[in-house]
Amino acid sequence: MATVTKPVPSRDEPRRPNVASANLQLPAVRDYEQVDREISGTLRPTLFWFLGLGVAVFFLILGISAWMYQIYSGLGVAGYNPPVMWGVYIITFVFWIGIGHAGTLISAILYLFRAGFRTTIYRCAEAMTVFAVMTAALFPILHLGRPWKFFWLIPYPNWRYVWPQFKSPLVWDVFAILTYFTISSTFLYIGLIPDIAVLRDRENISPIRKQIFSMLSLGWRNTDSEWRHFARAYLFLAALSTPLVLSVHSVVSFDFAMALTPGWHTTIFPPYFVAGAIFSGMGMVFTIIIPLRKWWGLKHYVTINHLDAAAKLALFTSLIVGCAYMNEWFVAWFSGNEAEKSFFANRIWGQWWWASAILYTCNMVLPLSLFVQRLRRSAAWLFIISFTINIGMWFERFVIVVPSLSHEFEPWQWTSYRPTWVDYSILAGSFGWFAMWFLLFIKQLPVIAIAEVKEIVPPRLRTVHAHGIDPAGRHFEFEPDTPGEFA
C-alpha cells in the first residue's frame, strides 16, 4: 500500500492561524505538573475575586430587599398592568434558562462532535448552566403573590385534588427544568470527581479541605477500571443530555406557542428558542471566560484559538436567530391575519420600536462583525460583543412577552407596561445571585478540567514521539498563532 508523506512546512513560511487543528493544542502547556500547578492556582483568592464577590452580594441584597418589599406590599408594586401579567420576572426566567443552555451544549454536544475547543471552557460553561438554572428557578416563585405556597406549583398527586394536567405545557416545563437541573448538576459533578482527586492529593492542603475533597472525590484513584467506566458513563450522559438541551427550551417555548396570542402561536418557536438560548449562553460564556483567563493567567489554556472557534459558534447561532426573526416578519405578512399584522406593526414601528431596535441591533447586526477574523480573535471585542448579546437576548424575551400581551385581539385590551424599581432591583439581584455562586465555585473547585487538559498535553515518553514531541514530553519549538499571546 502506498504511503503519502506530508511535506514539513518550512520554518520561514508564515503560518496562518489554523483553528481546525490549533484548538486541539496548548503549545505553552508543557507537562502534567504544570497543569496541576496552574489550574489549582486559580483557587487562591485575588483582589478581583473579593471585589467581584462584594459587588455580587451587594446586588443580591438589593434584590432580596426589593422582594421583601414586594411580599409586604403585594404584587402590585411590580408594575403589572392587566392584561400584561407576565413581565420582568417571566422575561428574566426565560433569559436565565437560555443562559443555562450553552453549558450543556459545550459539555455534551461538542463532546459528541469531538470539538477540541470545548476542553478548556466546558467546566466554566457547565457551572454557569447549573447556577443559571438555579437563578431561573427563583423567578416562578418571585412571580407568586404568596411565595410560601410555591409547592402548589409542583405537579404531583396531592390532597388538594388538583392533580397534574399532563397536557399542559406548564407541567411539561416543570419536569423539563427539574430534569435539566438534575442532569446538568450530575454531569458537572461526575466530570469534577477526577479533578477533586487531584486537589485531594496535593501536598500543601489543610486537613479540613483534604477531608472535604476526600469525601467529594469518593475515593477516586485514577485506575484503568475507573477511567473505563467513567469514559463510558460520560459518553452516555452526553448522549442523554444532547436531546435534553434541545427539548428544554422547546418546552419553554411551548409555554408561549401553545397560546393563541398574536406573536406567540407559531411553530417556529422551538428551534428559534433553542438557537436563541445557545446564542445567549455563548454570550455569557464570553462574559465569564475572558476576564477569567486574563485575571487568573490562563491565556495559554483558553487560547485565542478557542475563543475564535467559540465565536464562530456564536455567529452561527446568531444567523439562525436572525433567520427566525425574518421568518416571523414574513409569516405575519403572509398569513393575512389582521391581528398578527397589527401586532407586528406595533412591535416594530409602534409602541415597542425601541425594544425591537435594541434586539435586532444586538442580536442580528453586531454579531455579523464576527465574520471578520481579526475581530473574532480579539478578546476585547468578544467581551464587548458578549455584553451586547446578553442585552439583546434579554430584550428578545421582552419583545416576545410584553408586546404580545399588550396588543392582543381586542383594541380595548391594548395597553402598556413599565417595569418598576422593584422589577429592576430583582433583575439586578438575580445577576448578583448568579455571580455569587459562580465566584464561590471558582474559589473552591477547578475552573478548567484538569484531567481533560492532561489528555491533550503530550505525555512524558522515553523515546522520540512521531508528532513533534521530544523524549521529555515537550513539544518541539512552536510559534504562537498570535504574537504575544503566550507572553
- Residue 13 burial (10 A CB sphere; 0-12, 13-18, 19+): exposed
- Residue 54 burial (10 A CB sphere; 0-12, 13-18, 19+): exposed
Binding residues for other proteins, rule CB under 8 A, total 62
Mark residues 416-455: x for contact with other proteins by CB under 8 A, - for none: -----------------------------------xx-xx
CB of residue 229 to other proteins, shortest distance in Å? 4
Among 57, 115, 171, 391, binds other proteins (CB under 8 A): 171
CB of residue 471 to other proteins, shortest distance in Å? 8
CB of residue 28 to other proteins, shortest distance in Å? 17
- Could you tell me which residues come within 8 angstroms of residue 19 by beta carbon, excluding any fewer than 6 positions away? 117, 305, 308, 309, 312
Q: Is 165 in the site for other proteins (CB under 8 A)?
A: yes
Nearer CB in complex with other proteins: 159/412: 159
Nearer CB in complex with other proteins: 230/360: 230
Q: Is 237 in the site for other proteins (CB under 8 A)?
A: yes
Q: Is 163 in the site for other proteins (CB under 8 A)?
A: yes
- Could you tell me which residues come within 8 angstroms of residue 158 by beta carbon, excluding any fewer than 6 positions away? none
Q: Is 460 in the site for other proteins (CB under 8 A)?
A: yes
CB of residue 181 to other proteins, shortest distance in Å? 10
Q: Is 190 in the site for other proteins (CB under 8 A)?
A: yes
Nearer CB in complex with other proteins: 84/109: 109
Query: Contact at 8 Å (CB) between 435 and 287?
Result: no
CB of residue 215 to other proteins, shortest distance in Å? 8
Nearer CB in complex with other proteins: 222/267: 222
Q: Is 65 in the site for other proteins (CB under 8 A)?
A: no
Local structure of residue 463 (DSSP, 8 states): S
Nearer CB in complex with other proteins: 37/418: 37
Query: Contact at 8 Å (CB) between 306 and 312?
Result: no
Nearer CB in complex with other proteins: 357/461: 461
CB of residue 153 to other proteins, shortest distance in Å? 16
Among 4, 463, 466, 467, binds other proteins (CB under 8 A): 463
What is the 3 state secondary structure string of 88-147? HHHHHHHHHHHHHHHHHHHHHHHHHCCCHHHCCCHHHHHHHHHHHHHHHCHHHHHCCCCH
Count Cβ atoms below 10 Å from residue 231 Cβ, excluding itself: 10
- Could you tell me which residues come within 8 angstroms of residue 271 by beta carbon, excluding any fewer than 6 positions away? 250, 320, 324
CB of residue 178 to other proteins, shortest distance in Å? 8
Q: Is 201 in the site for other proteins (CB under 8 A)?
A: yes
Nearer CB in complex with other proteins: 227/478: 227
Q: Is 222 in the site for other proteins (CB under 8 A)?
A: yes
CB of residue 12 to other proteins, shortest distance in Å? 33
Ranges of H-type helices in 296-352 = 304-335, 338-348
User: 469 pairs with which residues across the strands?
Assistant: 465, 475
What is the 3 state secondary structure string of 3-31? CCCCCCCCCCCCCCCCHHHHCCCCCCCCC
Q: Is 154 in the site for other proteins (CB under 8 A)?
A: no
CB of residue 98 to other proteins, shortest distance in Å? 18
Mark residues 314-353: x for contact with other proteins by CB under 8 A, - for none: ----------------------------------------
Nearer CB in complex with other proteins: 201/485: 201
CB of residue 195 to other proteins, shortest distance in Å? 9
- Residue 467 burial (10 A CB sphere; 0-12, 13-18, 19+): exposed
DSSP-derived 3-state class of residue 84: strand
Q: Is the dihedral of CA 438, 442, 444, 446 positive or negative?
A: positive
- All 3 cell numbers of residue 377? 480573535
Nearest to 115 by CA among 389, 375, 346, 316: 316
Nearest to 252 by CA among 135, 93, 134: 93
Q: Which residues make up the interface to other proteins (CB under 8 A)?
A: 31-33, 36, 157, 161, 163-167, 171-172, 175-176, 178-179, 182-183, 186, 190, 193-194, 197-198, 200-201, 203, 218-233, 236-237, 240-241, 243-244, 247, 251, 451-452, 454-455, 459-463, 473
